[in-house]
Structure 1
Amino acid sequence: MLQTTAALILFLFPLAYSPGPGNLFFAANAARFGFAATVPANAGYHLATWVVTAAIGFGFVTALDRAPQLFAVLKTAGSLYVLWLAWKLLRAEVLKGAQAPQPASFASGAALLVLNPKAYVIIALMFSQFLEPDAPGTAAPVLWITTVFTLNNLLAFTVWALAGGSLAKLFRTSGGARSLNVLFGVILAGVAVWMLLS
């Protein structure tokens, strides 16, 4: 089990720590609102991660195989959701009062995972590599891999959020904050297009 866990973490390391929709989402939110404001969305994302990963480990991925149109719908919805988040950042100084941007919520974090079909592909690939052929449907290994995957992602997203929070300190002026909003808005928009086209 220890050897499998070490190999799993090595497999996941570049996937978890490289720039992706989740990492950039949390870095942008921390840069805009501070690290503490990302905690609810981070909790939502990783609760959803654990549930979705366990479901795939217990065979949910076969349902996606039988309904490729569902994958396409998730892909489009996820791209549009990230694009909408980018638009909110780009308009951050235009919106006032009740419409002003708010830190991402628990539900926003969960939606980001659920609407990202690429996460499903990575999770399915992970199980194909690290779940023994005679183990599918067996609770212990599925739940262990699910938990390691979720905690590894949580650590990576926390690192990115801390980095984003540090960036915020460099942009305390209103002009600097606007520049930061534009920067992360453009980056998130690029991620949305990448999600849609890849």
Structure 2
Amino acid sequence: MTERWPLRRARCRIIMIRVVMRGAPCLKRGMTEITIALLLFLAPLAYSPGPGNMFFAANGARFGFRATVPANVGYHLATVLLTIAIGLGFDWISRAAPLFLTITRYAGAAYILYLAFGLARAGVLADDSEARPAGVVDGAVVLLLNPKAYLIIALMFTQFTGATDMTHTAFVLWVALLFTLNNAVAFSLYAALGDGMTVKWRSPESARMLNLTFAIILSAVAVWMLVA
């Protein structure tokens, strides 16, 4: 039977990588498999409404897509640096506090379920954008004050560390690159959608439908994290 949820397929790929790696540490498909699994893991999180993409959607709606580029650059420069910093210290944290992995998994699942519940009850996106286009520094500050970003970074390393034959440093750099590019595409899309918003997008019925869809996806992510 064909699986209905891409996240379930991502989980199967992670398990397959870990099993095969034990007997074939030099497997060349390691990077391909981990890349696919990471993207399937990140896609629902990056494209679901959150502090980051809602920030860019609001700015895109008020000032236009081009005006969001400086903030996008600032946000993702901060993203790649923060991801590398956390990733390089993650192995030490895991060794020093083994419970950190379990705590992060359960805390992350609870937080994502909380986001899903909020989305399911949400209505129309509020227009709370600033009076001027956000700049590079504004984008970086949004990332640094975004708890969802810290949580997702920790969850990535919780789920995928040790799942490939790459060295830890190479793995961290690769994860940082994938995470940053995936977010950049998602946030650019939200900014473009904000720029082209119509009355239909602002209607309560359309907003509820979009939020309910993302709520279902996020709930699936949370359940997957609990059973992984």
Question: TM-score when scaled to structure 1?
Answer: 0.63
Q: 2:224 aligns to what?
A: none
Give, as a single letter, the amino acid of the residue that structure 1 aligns with 2:158.
S
Q: How many residues get paired?
A: 141
Q: 2:191 aligns with which of 161, 177, 192?
A: 161
* Residues 1:138 and 1:22: Cα distance change in structure 2 (over 3 Å): same
Mapping for residues 62-141 of structure 1, pairs under 5 Å:
62=93, 89=129, 101-132=131-162, 138-141=168-171
Residues 80-125 of structure 1: per-residue CA shift (max 9 Å, x gap): xxxxxx8964xx7xxxxxxxx1100100100001112231111111
Secondary structure, counterpart of 2:196 in structure 1: helix
Q: 1:35 aligns to what?
A: 65
Residues 138-171 of structure 1: per-residue CA shift (max 9 Å, x gap): 211110011001100001001101100101xx48
Counterpart-to-counterpart distance in 1, 2:127 and 2:61 = 16
Counterpart-to-counterpart distance in 2, 1:159 and 1:87 = 18
Answer yes or no: is the 8 Å Cα contact 2:46–2:183 preserved in 1: yes
CA-based RMSD of the aligned residues comes to 3.0
Q: 1:188 aligns to what?
A: none
Q: 2:182 aligns to what?
A: 152
Counterpart-to-counterpart distance in 2, 1:40 and 1:58 = 28
What is the Cα deviation at residue 16 of structure 1? 0.3
Counterpart-to-counterpart distance in 2, 1:135 and 1:103 = 44
* Residues 1:136 and 1:113: Cα distance change in structure 2 (over 3 Å): farther
Q: Structure 2: which 5+ runs fail to align?
A: 1-30, 101-125, 203-228
Counterpart-to-counterpart distance in 1, 2:172 and 2:73 = 21
Counterpart-to-counterpart distance in 2, 1:5 and 1:134 = 10
Q: Structure 1: which 5+ runs fail to align?
A: 67-85, 93-100, 172-178, 180-198
Secondary structure, counterpart of 1:140 in structure 2: helix
Counterpart-to-counterpart distance in 1, 2:155 and 2:163 = 13
Shift >6 Å, 4+ stretches: 133-137
Q: 1:17 aligns to what?
A: 47
Give, as a single letter, the amino acid of the residue that structure 1 aligns with 2:33.
Q
Counterpart-to-counterpart distance in 1, 2:166 and 2:84 = 11
Identity of aligned residues (%): 56
* Residues 1:166 and 1:40: Cα distance change in structure 2 (over 3 Å): same
Residues 114-137 of structure 1: per-residue CA shift (max 9 Å, x gap): 112231111111011112179898
* Residues 1:165 and 1:125: Cα distance change in structure 2 (over 3 Å): same
